[in-house]
Structure 1
Amino acid sequence: MADELVFYSNPMSRGRIARWMLEEVGAPYRTEWLTYEGSMKAPNYLAVNPMGKVPAILHGKTVVTEAAAICAYMADAFPEAGLAPPTSQRADYYRWMFFAAGPVEMAVSLKGFGIAVPKERERSIGCGSYESVLDALSYAVSRTPYIAGDSFTAADVYVGAHISWGLQFGTLEARPEYQVYWDRLKDRPACLRAKAIDDEEMHRQLGAAKAT
Protein backbone atom coordinates (compact mmCIF):
# COMPACT_ATOMS: atom_id res chain seq x y z
CA MET A 1 0.00 0.00 0.00
CA ALA A 2 1.34 3.45 -0.91
CA ASP A 3 2.15 5.84 1.92
CA GLU A 4 -0.71 8.18 2.76
CA LEU A 5 -0.18 11.76 1.68
CA VAL A 6 -1.63 14.40 4.00
CA PHE A 7 -1.61 18.09 3.13
CA TYR A 8 -1.89 20.75 5.84
CA SER A 9 -2.98 24.13 4.56
CA ASN A 10 -5.13 27.22 4.74
CA PRO A 11 -6.66 28.64 1.54
CA MET A 12 -5.28 32.09 2.34
CA SER A 13 -1.65 31.05 2.54
CA ARG A 14 1.37 29.82 0.61
CA GLY A 15 -0.36 26.48 0.77
CA ARG A 16 -1.82 27.41 -2.61
CA ILE A 17 1.64 26.79 -4.10
CA ALA A 18 1.84 23.30 -2.63
CA ARG A 19 -1.75 22.55 -3.67
CA TRP A 20 -0.88 23.33 -7.27
CA MET A 21 2.11 21.00 -7.03
CA LEU A 22 -0.01 18.23 -5.55
CA GLU A 23 -2.49 18.58 -8.38
CA GLU A 24 0.30 18.46 -10.96
CA VAL A 25 1.61 15.23 -9.42
CA GLY A 26 -1.83 13.65 -9.46
CA ALA A 27 -1.28 11.31 -6.49
CA PRO A 28 -4.21 10.95 -4.05
CA TYR A 29 -3.93 13.12 -0.95
CA ARG A 30 -6.03 14.25 1.98
CA THR A 31 -6.31 17.89 3.05
CA GLU A 32 -6.30 19.00 6.68
CA TRP A 33 -7.56 22.59 6.77
CA LEU A 34 -5.98 24.62 9.57
CA THR A 35 -6.88 28.01 11.01
CA TYR A 36 -4.57 30.83 12.02
CA GLU A 37 -4.23 31.20 15.80
CA GLY A 38 -6.32 28.05 16.14
CA SER A 39 -5.47 24.56 14.88
CA MET A 40 -2.25 25.90 13.29
CA LYS A 41 -0.92 26.52 16.80
CA ALA A 42 -2.30 23.34 18.39
CA PRO A 43 0.18 20.83 19.87
CA ASN A 44 -0.63 18.09 17.36
CA TYR A 45 0.22 20.36 14.43
CA LEU A 46 3.25 21.88 16.14
CA ALA A 47 4.58 18.32 16.22
CA VAL A 48 4.44 18.42 12.42
CA ASN A 49 5.75 21.97 11.99
CA PRO A 50 7.13 23.68 15.11
CA MET A 51 6.78 27.01 13.30
CA GLY A 52 3.01 26.62 13.39
CA LYS A 53 2.78 27.67 9.76
CA VAL A 54 1.53 26.11 6.53
CA PRO A 55 1.98 24.45 4.13
CA ALA A 56 3.26 21.09 5.26
CA ILE A 57 2.89 17.57 3.96
CA LEU A 58 3.09 14.24 5.73
CA HIS A 59 4.03 11.47 3.31
CA GLY A 60 3.97 8.24 5.25
CA LYS A 61 6.26 9.16 8.15
CA THR A 62 8.10 11.89 6.22
CA VAL A 63 7.33 15.53 7.01
CA VAL A 64 8.18 18.30 4.57
CA THR A 65 7.55 21.99 5.22
CA GLU A 66 8.26 25.12 3.15
CA ALA A 67 6.58 25.46 -0.23
CA ALA A 68 9.76 25.27 -2.31
CA ALA A 69 10.92 22.16 -0.46
CA ILE A 70 7.51 20.55 -0.95
CA CYS A 71 7.68 21.23 -4.69
CA ALA A 72 11.17 19.74 -4.96
CA TYR A 73 10.31 16.76 -2.75
CA MET A 74 7.11 15.91 -4.60
CA ALA A 75 8.87 15.99 -7.96
CA ASP A 76 11.41 13.45 -6.66
CA ALA A 77 8.90 11.31 -4.75
CA PHE A 78 6.68 10.95 -7.82
CA PRO A 79 9.11 10.84 -10.78
CA GLU A 80 6.40 9.43 -13.05
CA ALA A 81 4.85 12.91 -13.11
CA GLY A 82 7.90 14.19 -15.02
CA LEU A 83 8.19 17.40 -12.99
CA ALA A 84 11.96 17.44 -12.51
CA PRO A 85 14.68 17.39 -15.17
CA PRO A 86 17.25 14.58 -15.19
CA THR A 87 19.70 15.01 -12.32
CA SER A 88 22.49 16.10 -14.66
CA GLN A 89 20.29 18.91 -16.04
CA ARG A 90 18.99 20.47 -12.84
CA ALA A 91 21.19 23.57 -12.56
CA ASP A 92 18.56 26.07 -13.73
CA TYR A 93 15.80 24.10 -11.99
CA TYR A 94 17.47 24.48 -8.60
CA ARG A 95 18.88 27.92 -9.30
CA TRP A 96 15.62 29.67 -10.07
CA MET A 97 13.38 27.77 -7.68
CA PHE A 98 15.57 28.78 -4.77
CA PHE A 99 16.16 32.25 -6.15
CA ALA A 100 12.40 32.72 -5.83
CA ALA A 101 12.41 31.19 -2.35
CA GLY A 102 15.28 33.43 -1.22
CA PRO A 103 15.93 36.79 -2.90
CA VAL A 104 12.47 37.20 -4.47
CA GLU A 105 10.60 36.36 -1.28
CA MET A 106 12.90 38.57 0.79
CA ALA A 107 12.88 41.56 -1.55
CA VAL A 108 9.10 41.53 -1.96
CA SER A 109 8.56 41.17 1.79
CA LEU A 110 10.91 44.04 2.62
CA LYS A 111 9.19 46.28 0.10
CA GLY A 112 5.77 45.27 1.39
CA PHE A 113 6.77 46.25 4.93
CA GLY A 114 8.21 49.54 3.72
CA ILE A 115 11.77 48.59 4.62
CA ALA A 116 14.41 50.05 2.32
CA VAL A 117 17.89 48.56 2.42
CA PRO A 118 20.48 51.36 2.38
CA LYS A 119 22.46 51.37 -0.85
CA GLU A 120 25.72 50.85 1.00
CA ARG A 121 24.30 47.76 2.77
CA GLU A 122 22.87 45.95 -0.27
CA ARG A 123 25.88 43.66 -0.54
CA SER A 124 25.25 42.49 3.04
CA ILE A 125 21.74 41.15 2.37
CA GLY A 126 20.88 38.18 0.22
CA CYS A 127 18.40 39.96 -2.02
CA GLY A 128 20.59 42.98 -2.76
CA SER A 129 17.99 45.47 -4.00
CA TYR A 130 14.38 45.08 -5.08
CA GLU A 131 15.29 46.37 -8.56
CA SER A 132 18.15 43.92 -9.05
CA VAL A 133 15.93 41.02 -8.00
CA LEU A 134 13.27 42.04 -10.52
CA ASP A 135 15.88 42.34 -13.25
CA ALA A 136 17.19 38.85 -12.49
CA LEU A 137 13.67 37.46 -12.46
CA SER A 138 13.01 39.09 -15.83
CA TYR A 139 16.11 37.36 -17.17
CA ALA A 140 15.00 34.02 -15.73
CA VAL A 141 11.57 34.01 -17.35
CA SER A 142 12.73 35.38 -20.72
CA ARG A 143 15.51 32.93 -21.62
CA THR A 144 13.45 29.82 -22.36
CA PRO A 145 9.74 28.93 -22.44
CA TYR A 146 9.95 27.51 -18.92
CA ILE A 147 12.30 28.20 -16.04
CA ALA A 148 14.46 25.12 -16.56
CA GLY A 149 14.24 24.92 -20.35
CA ASP A 150 11.63 23.75 -22.83
CA SER A 151 9.55 21.67 -20.41
CA PHE A 152 7.34 22.57 -17.45
CA THR A 153 8.77 21.52 -14.07
CA ALA A 154 8.15 21.93 -10.35
CA ALA A 155 10.29 25.07 -10.52
CA ASP A 156 7.62 26.66 -12.71
CA VAL A 157 5.01 25.90 -10.05
CA TYR A 158 7.03 27.77 -7.46
CA VAL A 159 8.26 30.67 -9.59
CA GLY A 160 4.93 30.93 -11.40
CA ALA A 161 2.99 31.13 -8.14
CA HIS A 162 5.17 34.01 -6.96
CA ILE A 163 4.71 35.87 -10.22
CA SER A 164 0.96 35.26 -10.21
CA TRP A 165 0.69 36.63 -6.68
CA GLY A 166 2.94 39.58 -7.52
CA LEU A 167 0.93 40.56 -10.59
CA GLN A 168 -2.39 40.15 -8.80
CA PHE A 169 -1.51 42.17 -5.71
CA GLY A 170 1.04 44.59 -7.15
CA THR A 171 4.02 43.34 -5.18
CA LEU A 172 5.91 42.93 -8.46
CA GLU A 173 6.14 45.48 -11.25
CA ALA A 174 3.77 44.51 -14.05
CA ARG A 175 6.56 43.79 -16.51
CA PRO A 176 5.44 42.34 -19.85
CA GLU A 177 7.81 39.38 -19.56
CA TYR A 178 6.20 38.35 -16.28
CA GLN A 179 2.75 38.38 -17.85
CA VAL A 180 3.92 36.41 -20.91
CA TYR A 181 5.46 33.78 -18.64
CA TRP A 182 2.38 33.56 -16.40
CA ASP A 183 0.11 33.28 -19.43
CA ARG A 184 1.92 30.04 -20.32
CA LEU A 185 1.07 28.55 -16.93
CA LYS A 186 -2.26 29.91 -15.74
CA ASP A 187 -4.52 27.63 -17.76
CA ARG A 188 -2.83 24.36 -16.85
CA PRO A 189 -5.57 21.98 -15.65
CA ALA A 190 -3.76 21.31 -12.36
CA CYS A 191 -3.41 25.02 -11.70
CA LEU A 192 -7.12 25.59 -12.34
CA ARG A 193 -8.13 22.63 -10.16
CA ALA A 194 -5.95 23.81 -7.31
CA LYS A 195 -7.35 27.33 -7.49
CA ALA A 196 -10.93 26.05 -7.51
CA ILE A 197 -10.35 23.89 -4.42
CA ASP A 198 -8.73 26.69 -2.43
CA ASP A 199 -11.21 29.34 -3.58
CA GLU A 200 -14.13 27.16 -2.50
CA GLU A 201 -12.65 26.65 0.97
CA MET A 202 -11.71 30.33 1.27
CA HIS A 203 -15.29 31.38 0.53
CA ARG A 204 -16.58 28.80 2.99
CA GLN A 205 -14.31 30.11 5.76
CA LEU A 206 -15.13 33.73 5.03
CA GLY A 207 -18.83 32.94 5.00
CA ALA A 208 -18.57 31.10 8.30
CA ALA A 209 -16.70 34.03 9.83
CA LYS A 210 -19.42 36.48 8.75
CA ALA A 211 -22.11 34.23 10.20
CA THR A 212 -20.58 34.29 13.69
Structure 2
Amino acid sequence: MSLVDNPNCALTLYTNPMSRGQIARWMLEETELEYQQVILEYEQSMKSAEYLSINPMGKVPAISHEGKVITECAAICAYLADITTNITLAPAIADRADYYRWLFFAAGPLEAAIVNRSLGVEVSAEKQRMVGYGQYDMVVDVLAKKLSESDYICGSHFTAADVYIGSHVIWGTLFGSLPERSEFSDYAARLTNRSAYLRAKSIDDQLIQARENS
Protein backbone atom coordinates (compact mmCIF):
# COMPACT_ATOMS: atom_id res chain seq x y z
CA MET A 1 0.00 0.00 0.00
CA SER A 2 1.33 3.44 -0.92
CA LEU A 3 1.98 6.02 1.77
CA VAL A 4 0.40 8.73 -0.38
CA ASP A 5 -3.33 9.27 -0.84
CA ASN A 6 -3.11 10.89 -4.27
CA PRO A 7 -0.48 9.39 -6.60
CA ASN A 8 -1.39 12.04 -9.18
CA CYS A 9 -0.14 14.88 -6.97
CA ALA A 10 3.32 15.85 -8.22
CA LEU A 11 4.66 17.05 -4.87
CA THR A 12 4.58 15.18 -1.56
CA LEU A 13 5.89 16.21 1.85
CA TYR A 14 6.90 13.45 4.25
CA THR A 15 6.96 14.89 7.73
CA ASN A 16 6.11 14.80 11.40
CA PRO A 17 4.74 18.01 12.94
CA MET A 18 7.27 17.81 15.78
CA SER A 19 10.36 17.72 13.60
CA ARG A 20 12.49 19.66 11.16
CA GLY A 21 9.64 18.95 8.78
CA GLN A 22 8.30 22.31 9.95
CA ILE A 23 11.09 23.92 7.92
CA ALA A 24 10.08 22.11 4.73
CA ARG A 25 6.41 22.94 5.27
CA TRP A 26 7.21 26.64 5.72
CA MET A 27 9.19 26.55 2.48
CA LEU A 28 6.32 24.81 0.69
CA GLU A 29 3.90 27.45 1.91
CA GLU A 30 6.23 30.17 0.59
CA THR A 31 6.16 28.57 -2.85
CA GLU A 32 2.34 28.36 -2.96
CA LEU A 33 2.74 25.06 -4.84
CA GLU A 34 0.10 22.37 -4.42
CA TYR A 35 1.34 19.48 -2.29
CA GLN A 36 0.09 16.57 -0.25
CA GLN A 37 1.42 15.50 3.12
CA VAL A 38 2.30 12.14 4.61
CA ILE A 39 2.53 12.21 8.40
CA LEU A 40 4.98 9.66 9.78
CA GLU A 41 5.61 8.38 13.31
CA TYR A 42 9.16 8.15 14.62
CA GLU A 43 9.46 4.50 15.59
CA GLN A 44 6.75 3.15 13.32
CA SER A 45 6.02 4.34 9.78
CA MET A 46 9.23 6.40 9.66
CA LYS A 47 11.18 3.12 9.95
CA SER A 48 8.94 1.13 7.63
CA ALA A 49 10.41 -0.55 4.56
CA GLU A 50 8.26 1.67 2.35
CA TYR A 51 9.57 4.91 3.81
CA LEU A 52 13.15 3.62 4.03
CA SER A 53 12.97 3.14 0.27
CA ILE A 54 12.34 6.88 0.08
CA ASN A 55 14.85 7.98 2.73
CA PRO A 56 17.17 5.21 3.95
CA MET A 57 18.06 7.39 6.93
CA GLY A 58 14.53 6.92 8.24
CA LYS A 59 14.23 10.61 9.02
CA VAL A 60 12.02 13.51 7.99
CA PRO A 61 11.52 15.72 6.17
CA ALA A 62 11.70 14.45 2.64
CA ILE A 63 9.87 15.56 -0.44
CA SER A 64 9.04 13.73 -3.63
CA HIS A 65 8.55 15.75 -6.78
CA GLU A 66 7.68 14.08 -10.06
CA GLY A 67 9.41 10.89 -8.97
CA LYS A 68 12.52 12.60 -7.60
CA VAL A 69 13.29 12.47 -3.86
CA ILE A 70 15.00 15.29 -2.00
CA THR A 71 16.08 15.05 1.63
CA GLU A 72 17.97 17.42 3.96
CA CYS A 73 16.28 20.70 4.80
CA ALA A 74 18.76 23.01 3.08
CA ALA A 75 18.54 20.98 -0.13
CA ILE A 76 14.74 20.93 0.05
CA CYS A 77 14.63 24.72 0.42
CA ALA A 78 17.01 25.27 -2.49
CA TYR A 79 15.22 22.76 -4.73
CA LEU A 80 11.77 24.18 -4.06
CA ALA A 81 13.03 27.69 -4.80
CA ASP A 82 14.36 26.49 -8.15
CA ILE A 83 11.10 24.83 -9.26
CA THR A 84 8.94 27.78 -8.20
CA THR A 85 8.24 30.01 -11.18
CA ASN A 86 5.50 32.34 -9.96
CA ILE A 87 7.45 33.67 -6.95
CA THR A 88 11.14 34.60 -6.76
CA LEU A 89 12.65 32.66 -3.86
CA ALA A 90 16.23 32.54 -5.10
CA PRO A 91 18.42 35.27 -6.57
CA ALA A 92 19.56 35.21 -10.16
CA ILE A 93 22.52 32.88 -10.68
CA ALA A 94 24.96 35.78 -10.88
CA ASP A 95 23.75 37.08 -7.52
CA ARG A 96 23.81 33.85 -5.51
CA ALA A 97 27.08 34.27 -3.61
CA ASP A 98 25.46 35.21 -0.29
CA TYR A 99 22.55 32.85 -0.93
CA TYR A 100 24.79 29.78 -1.20
CA ARG A 101 27.36 30.93 1.32
CA TRP A 102 24.93 31.49 4.17
CA LEU A 103 22.53 28.66 3.33
CA PHE A 104 25.38 26.19 3.71
CA PHE A 105 26.93 28.06 6.61
CA ALA A 106 23.69 27.29 8.46
CA ALA A 107 23.64 23.66 7.29
CA GLY A 108 27.26 23.19 8.36
CA PRO A 109 28.95 25.32 11.03
CA LEU A 110 25.79 26.79 12.57
CA GLU A 111 23.85 23.56 13.03
CA ALA A 112 26.92 21.64 14.22
CA ALA A 113 27.81 24.35 16.74
CA ILE A 114 24.26 24.55 18.10
CA VAL A 115 23.82 20.77 18.34
CA ASN A 116 27.15 20.28 20.10
CA ARG A 117 26.39 23.09 22.54
CA SER A 118 22.94 21.63 23.23
CA LEU A 119 24.45 18.19 23.87
CA GLY A 120 27.05 19.62 26.20
CA VAL A 121 29.93 18.82 23.86
CA GLU A 122 32.86 21.13 24.56
CA VAL A 123 35.68 21.25 22.03
CA SER A 124 39.04 22.08 23.56
CA ALA A 125 41.07 24.93 22.11
CA GLU A 126 43.70 22.58 20.72
CA LYS A 127 41.05 20.53 18.87
CA GLN A 128 38.97 23.36 17.39
CA ARG A 129 40.74 22.95 14.06
CA MET A 130 39.25 19.45 13.84
CA VAL A 131 35.62 20.67 13.78
CA GLY A 132 34.19 22.63 10.89
CA TYR A 133 32.71 25.40 13.01
CA GLY A 134 35.72 25.95 15.25
CA GLN A 135 34.01 27.62 18.20
CA TYR A 136 30.35 28.23 19.10
CA ASP A 137 30.84 31.87 20.12
CA MET A 138 32.62 32.68 16.87
CA VAL A 139 29.79 31.12 14.83
CA VAL A 140 27.25 33.19 16.77
CA ASP A 141 29.21 36.41 16.25
CA VAL A 142 29.65 35.78 12.53
CA LEU A 143 25.93 35.12 12.03
CA ALA A 144 24.90 38.12 14.16
CA LYS A 145 27.15 40.42 12.14
CA LYS A 146 25.64 39.18 8.88
CA LEU A 147 22.08 39.69 10.16
CA SER A 148 22.91 43.23 11.31
CA GLU A 149 23.80 44.27 7.76
CA SER A 150 20.43 43.83 6.03
CA ASP A 151 16.86 42.71 6.62
CA TYR A 152 17.42 39.38 4.88
CA ILE A 153 20.32 37.13 3.96
CA CYS A 154 20.42 38.42 0.39
CA GLY A 155 19.80 42.06 1.21
CA SER A 156 16.29 43.50 1.05
CA HIS A 157 14.73 40.46 -0.67
CA PHE A 158 13.47 37.36 1.18
CA THR A 159 14.76 34.05 -0.23
CA ALA A 160 14.78 30.35 0.55
CA ALA A 161 17.99 30.91 2.51
CA ASP A 162 15.94 32.89 5.03
CA VAL A 163 13.62 29.93 5.55
CA TYR A 164 16.46 27.65 6.53
CA ILE A 165 18.61 30.12 8.44
CA GLY A 166 15.53 31.77 9.91
CA SER A 167 14.26 28.45 11.26
CA HIS A 168 17.47 28.04 13.24
CA VAL A 169 17.26 31.60 14.53
CA ILE A 170 13.57 31.39 15.44
CA TRP A 171 14.15 28.12 17.29
CA GLY A 172 17.25 29.54 18.95
CA THR A 173 15.44 32.62 20.24
CA LEU A 174 12.55 30.53 21.58
CA PHE A 175 14.51 27.75 23.24
CA GLY A 176 17.83 29.36 24.12
CA SER A 177 20.13 27.57 21.68
CA LEU A 178 21.22 31.03 20.57
CA PRO A 179 22.00 33.89 22.97
CA GLU A 180 19.65 36.83 23.39
CA ARG A 181 20.82 39.39 20.85
CA SER A 182 18.86 42.02 18.99
CA GLU A 183 20.22 40.82 15.64
CA PHE A 184 18.51 37.46 16.19
CA SER A 185 15.27 38.70 17.76
CA ASP A 186 14.74 41.39 15.10
CA TYR A 187 15.36 38.92 12.28
CA ALA A 188 13.04 36.34 13.86
CA ALA A 189 10.30 38.96 14.25
CA ARG A 190 10.45 39.84 10.54
CA LEU A 191 10.15 36.19 9.55
CA THR A 192 7.43 35.10 11.96
CA ASN A 193 5.15 37.84 10.63
CA ARG A 194 5.18 36.34 7.14
CA SER A 195 1.85 34.90 6.02
CA ALA A 196 3.47 31.69 4.72
CA TYR A 197 5.19 31.12 8.06
CA LEU A 198 1.93 31.65 9.92
CA ARG A 199 0.07 29.24 7.60
CA ALA A 200 2.71 26.55 8.02
CA LYS A 201 2.82 26.97 11.79
CA SER A 202 -0.97 26.77 12.01
CA ILE A 203 -1.01 23.48 10.07
CA ASP A 204 1.64 21.88 12.27
CA ASP A 205 0.15 23.27 15.48
CA GLN A 206 -3.22 21.76 14.56
CA LEU A 207 -1.61 18.40 13.85
CA ILE A 208 0.18 18.50 17.20
CA GLN A 209 -3.01 19.49 19.02
CA ALA A 210 -4.99 16.71 17.34
CA ARG A 211 -2.34 14.20 18.41
CA GLU A 212 -2.45 15.41 22.00
CA ASN A 213 -6.25 15.17 22.06
CA SER A 214 -6.41 11.69 20.56
Kindly state the Cα deviation for residue 144 of structure 1 after the two structures are TM-superposed.
1.3
Which string of whole-angstrom CA distances, capped at 9 and with x for unpartnered residues, describes residues 42-90 of structure 1?
0000011000000000001110001110000000011322000000000
**TM-score after normalising by structure 2:** 0.94
Which letter does structure 1 place at the counterpart of 2:111?
E
Residue 205 of structure 1, CA deviation: 1.7
* Matched ranges for 1:113-192 at <5 A: 113-192=119-198
CA distance in 2, matches of 1:158, 1:116: 25
Aligned to 2:5: none
Describe the SS at the equivalent of 1:36.
coil
Counterpart Cα distance in 1 of 2:87 and 2:75: 17
Match of 1:103 among 104, 109, 131: 109
Q: Which amino acid aligns with 1:204?
A: A
Match of 1:12 in 2: 18
Partners in 2 of 1:79 and 1:96 — Cα distance? Answer: 23
User: What is the CA–CA distance in structure 2 between the aligned matches of 1:95 and 1:35, rounded to whole Å?
Assistant: 34
Q: Distance in 1 between matches of 2:200 and 2:176?
A: 22
Q: Which residue of 1 aligns with 2:65?
A: 59
Shift of residue 206, structure 1, vs aligned partner: 2.4
Under a length normalisation based on structure 1, what TM-score does the superposition of the two structures give?
0.95
For the residue of structure 2 that corresponds to 1:58, the secondary structure is strand
Instruction: Report the identity percentage.
Output: 51
Contact 1:104/1:127 (<8 A) preserved? yes
Tell me what 2:95 maps to: 89
Check conservation: 1:96, 1:140, Cα contact below 8 A: no
Query: In the alignment, what sits opposite 1:24?
Result: 30
2:91 partner SS: coil
**1:132-165 deviation line (CA, Å, top 9, x unaligned):** 1101110121111110111000000111111000
Among candidates 45, 48, 52, match of residue 39 of structure 1? 45
Mapped to 1, the partners of 2:92 and 2:9 lie a distance apart of 24
| Contact 2:63–2:69 (CA under 8 A) maintained in structure 1 | yes
Please list every run of 5 or more consecutive structure 2 residues that lacks an aligned counterpart in the other structure.
Answer: 1-7
1:193 match: 199
* Deviation for aligned residue 1:3: 6.2
Q: Which amino acid aligns with 1:130?
A: Y
**Match of 1:143, as an amino acid?**
E
Q: Distance in 2 between matches of 1:80 and 1:98?
A: 25
- Contact 2:9/2:36 (<8 A) preserved: no
Secondary structure of 1:79's counterpart equals: coil
Q: Runs of 5+ in structure 1 lacking a partner?
A: none
How many residue pairs were aligned? Answer: 207
